[in-house]
Amino acid sequence: MNKIYEQFRKDMEKAGYEVTEYRGRNFYVGPAVSTSRKDDIDLQDIMSATKVNVQWDNLGLDYIVYPK
């Protein structure tokens, strides 16, 4: 597995965020975390939990965040 993906997954799990597998744009397949209004998790929270460069897709009112 890609070392960047492994680091992202480790960082997100350490921060307590649920990691899912995401099939996104540009043929991305790998770990991702969703923002959640219900759980008060926003884009900045996720970005600050890792040093991995991330990108995100808008999913209605929330975002899905994944490594670049």
- pLDDT, mean of residues 22-43: 89
**Rg of the Cα atoms in the chain:** 11
- pLDDT, mean of residues 15-40: 91
Place of tokens 């597995």: 1
Mean pLDDT of the chain: 92
Predicted confidence at residue 1, as pLDDT, reads 62
For residue 12, give the nearest of 37, 30, 29, 38 by alpha carbon. 30
Q: Where are the alpha helices (DSSP H) in the chain?
A: 3-15, 43-48
- Identify residue 19 by its one-letter amino acid code: V
User: Which pTM value belongs to this model?
Assistant: 0.89
- pLDDT, mean of residues 29-45: 90
- pLDDT, mean of residues 33-54: 92
